[in-house]
Amino acid sequence: MGLWCQCLVAVAQQLTGAYRPRGPVIEVFGINEAISFPEKFERRGVKLEVLRRLLDQQGQAAAQVGARWTRGHTVAFPRLSWDRWEREARSFARADLWLQAVQRVGLEAVVMIGPWPGNKSRDFTSRYVLQGDARERYVEFVRAAVERYDGDGLNDMPGLLRGVRFWEVDNEPDLKNSGSPRVSKRSNFCTPEQFAEIVILTARAIKSADPGARVLNGGLYRVTKEFGYRYLRDLLAVPGLLAAIDILSVHAYHTGRDAGAVELTLRRVQELARGKPVWLTETSVPAAGKESFLSPEWQAEILARTVILA
């Protein structure tokens, strides 16, 4: 637990010595799940003051390396999903701790929200779309969360420094649909039509609580692959989907020598986005392995390409 929680802190501590980043601030730079705490450790028990201190350390480390944004997750942290909210007596305590740590260091938050834990929805339900009373309770949850964090002075979280402006609806629907990164066959779970239904429902609930909020779809996992590209195309063709979102969220991962995953992803999405802003909410490169192309120079090339394209 100590090693995991101190990884960003160690980087920040190095930066307090001879070297610190210099040059213009890159306002688009964020660290996905920069402030987090593994659920398996939480289950073992952790004192509130210890958890708060660890989250603060991670936030400080992220800010010191130049991050301006961070993104919460419905699986990793703060686990803000309707399913968990109801199982935990409708508590927002974990999300409160996370947002307080985010805001204390001046980071901008993108908050993921949805009916089920993001990448593990199949573990909690065999049916992605909500029906009847569950649908009404989900809308109640979304409205309560947005109202708590919108900063309008009505039922706000105690100590809220500023309102949350960006809400992302769930995560990687194309991966939910196939069930595995290695599978390229559609299932009847989280189809483009089903995901669009949840996005539209959630967006309406968000806007009813905070008309000024900005809504993102859950980021598509593999637009560079034909499966993900077809899923995106079919998703954006669902009536009402594009009108429901303000920003189109996508992911791009580099798994081989080619450094063009981000470029291809953005080009494909922009062809279909009809003028919507496109945000890259997840990306990464391999940092270790036996592949001959792995090197600091290769990683630097991808970083430069990503920043320039962003």
**Which domains, and CATH codes, for the chain?**
23-309 (3.20.20.80)
- Position 263 pLDDT exceeds 80: yes
| Per-residue pLDDT at 23 | 52
pLDDT digit string, tens, across residues 161-190 = 999 999 999 999 999 999 888 888 999 999
| Per-residue pLDDT at 184 | 86
- SS3 (DSSP) at 108: strand
Nearest to 202, CA basis, from 173, 167, 228? 167
| Per-residue pLDDT at 290 | 76
* Average pLDDT estimate for 73-88: 97
| Per-residue pLDDT at 1 | 34
pTM as predicted: 0.90
pLDDT grade for 13, boundaries at 50, 70 and 90: very low
Token pair in block for residue 67: 């991050």
| Per-residue pLDDT at 221 | 94
| Contact partners, residue 223, CB within 8 Å, separation at least 6 | 229, 232, 250, 251, 252, 264, 265, 268, 269
pLDDT grade for 15, boundaries at 50, 70 and 90: very low
Of the two residues 302 and 292, the one the predictor is more confident about is: 302
pLDDT grade for 24, boundaries at 50, 70 and 90: low
Q: Which residue has the tokens 């062809």?
A: 271
- Position 292 pLDDT exceeds 80: no
Amino acid found at 266: L
| Contact partners, residue 105, CB within 8 Å, separation at least 6 | 56, 59, 60, 62, 63
Token pair in block for residue 77: 């942290």
| Per-residue pLDDT at 28 | 84
- Position 127 pLDDT exceeds 60: yes
What's the mean pLDDT when you consider all of the chain? 89
- Position 12 pLDDT exceeds 70: no
CB distance 264 to 302 below 8 Å: no
Task: Calculate the alpha carbon distances from 280 to 39, 61, 93, 247 in Å.
Answer: 26, 22, 29, 10
| Per-residue pLDDT at 106 | 97
- Position 5 pLDDT exceeds 70: no
Cα 235 from chain centroid (whole Å): 19
CB distance 199 to 113 below 8 Å: no
| Per-residue pLDDT at 173 | 97
